[in-house]
Structure 1
Amino acid sequence: MQLSTERLRLTRLQAEDWPIFYQVHTDENAMAFISEVRQDAEIRQRFNDRLAPWQVTSFHMLCLTIRLAATDEAVGFIGANAEWAPFRQAEVGYSLLSAHFGKGYGSEALSALTDFLFNDCEFHKLKAEVVEGNWASRRVLEKNGFRLEGTFRDNYLLRGRWVNDWMFGCLKSDRK
C-alpha cells in the first residue's frame, strides 16, 4: 500500500523503519503533546504492534511512514485506528520529527490519508484527539476539514499533569 502526494509518499510501516520510529519517539519536541519519552523496550513493542498487516476491520493501527518523494527521507508517521463495525469511524494521528515541523508535511499527509479512508475504505467519520494548546496540530486538522466538536476536561495525563483534549471530527460529506 502506498499513498502519494506532490511531495510525499506514505508507505506501510516496515521493519527497516525502526530507526526513524525510534528517532520520532525519542524526539522531545515531537513527543511534547503526545507522551513522555518512553523506555526503549516500550517503543520497540509499539513498533512491533504496528507492523501487523492492516485492513479496514483490523483492531490494530494502520501505520504509514511519511517519506519525502524527492529523496525518500522518512520524516514521520501517520495512521488510523478503525472502529469499523458498526460505526464506520476511525481515529487519526500523526507525528513528525521536529526538524520537519512547519513545512506542511503533516497537512499534506493527512489529506492523502483522509481521502484514502473516506474513498477507498468507506469510513463515515474520522476523529482526532489533540491536547488543548497544540495549535500546530489543530491547524493541520482544520486545513483538512476537521471541526472542533468539544473539549474533554482533564482527559489525559501528560507528563504527570492532567490536560484537556480537543475532540475533532470530519464527516465524509465535509470533504466534498
Structure 2
Amino acid sequence: MQLITERLLLAKLQPEDWSLFHQVHTDAVSMRFISAVPQLADIRQRFQTRLQPWQITSLHMLCLTVRLRESGEAVGLIGANAEWSPWRQAEVGYSLLSQQTGKGYGGEALGALADYLFKECRFHKLKAQVVEGNWPSRRILEKNGFRLEGTLRENYLLRGEWVNDWLFGKLESD
C-alpha cells in the first residue's frame, strides 16, 4: 500500500523501517505531547505489532512511514486505529521527526490518509485526540477539516500529570 502526494510517499511499515520507527519513538521533542520516551522493549513490541497486515477490521494500528518523494528522506509516521463495526470510525495519529516539523508535511500526510480512509475504506468518521496545548497538531487537524468537538478533562496521564485532551472529528460528508 502506498499513498503519494505532491512531496511525500506514505507506505505501509516494513521490517527495514525499524530505524525510522525507533528514531520517532526516541525523539524527545516529538514525544513531548505523546508520552515519555518508551523503553526499547516497548518500542520493539509496538513495531512488531504494526508490521502485521492491516485491514479495516484489524484490532491493531495501520502504520505508514512518511518520506520525501524525491530523496526518500524520513519525515515520520502516521496511522489509524479502526473501530469498524458498528461505528465505521477510525482514530488518526501522527508523529514527525522534530527536524521535519513546520514544513507542512504533517498536514499533507494527514490529507492523503484521510482521503484513503474515507474513499477506499469507507469510514464514516475520523477522530483525533490531541493533548491540550499541542497547537501545531491542532493546526494540522483544522487545516484538514477536522473540527474541535470538545475537551476531555484530565483524560490522559502524561509523564505523571493528568492533562486534558482536545477531541477532533471529521465526517465523510465534511
Judge same fold: TM > 0.5, yes or no.
yes
Pairing of 1:95-110 with structure 2 (within 5 A): 95-110=95-110
Measured against aligned partners, the alpha-carbon deviations of 1:85-106 in whole angstroms (never above 9, x if no partner) come to 1100000000000000100000
SS of residue matched to 2:67: strand
Q: Which residue of 2 aligns with 1:52?
A: 52
Q: Which residue of 2 aligns with 1:26?
A: 26
Structure 1 residue 43: deviation in Å? 0.6
Pairing of 1:10-159 with structure 2 (within 5 A): 10-159=10-159
Q: Distance in 2 between matches of 1:18 and 1:141?
A: 27
Q: Distance in 2 between matches of 1:146 and 1:81?
A: 17
Q: Distance in 2 between matches of 1:23 and 1:58?
A: 26
SS of residue matched to 1:10: strand
Letter in 2 for 1:82: A
Structure 1 residue 79: deviation in Å? 0.2
Q: Distance in 2 between matches of 1:148 and 1:114?
A: 16
Measured against aligned partners, the alpha-carbon deviations of 1:7-29 in whole angstroms (never above 9, x if no partner) come to 00000000000001101100000
Measured against aligned partners, the alpha-carbon deviations of 1:70-123 in whole angstroms (never above 9, x if no partner) come to 101111000000000110000000000000010000000000000000000000
Give TM-score scaled by structure 2 length.
0.99
SS of residue matched to 1:45: helix
SS of residue matched to 2:29: helix
CA RMSD across the alignment? 0.4
Runs of 4+ with deviation above 6 angstroms? none
Measured against aligned partners, the alpha-carbon deviations of 1:101-147 in whole angstroms (never above 9, x if no partner) come to 10000000000000000000000000000000000000000000000
Calculate percent identity across the aligned residue pairs.
72
Please list every run of 5 or more consecutive structure 1 residues that lacks an aligned counterpart in the other structure.
none
SS of residue matched to 2:156: strand
Aligned residues: 174
SS of residue matched to 1:140: helix
Q: Distance in 1 between matches of 2:38 and 2:124?
A: 33
Larger helix proportion of the pair: 1
Q: Distance in 1 between matches of 2:26 and 2:67?
A: 19
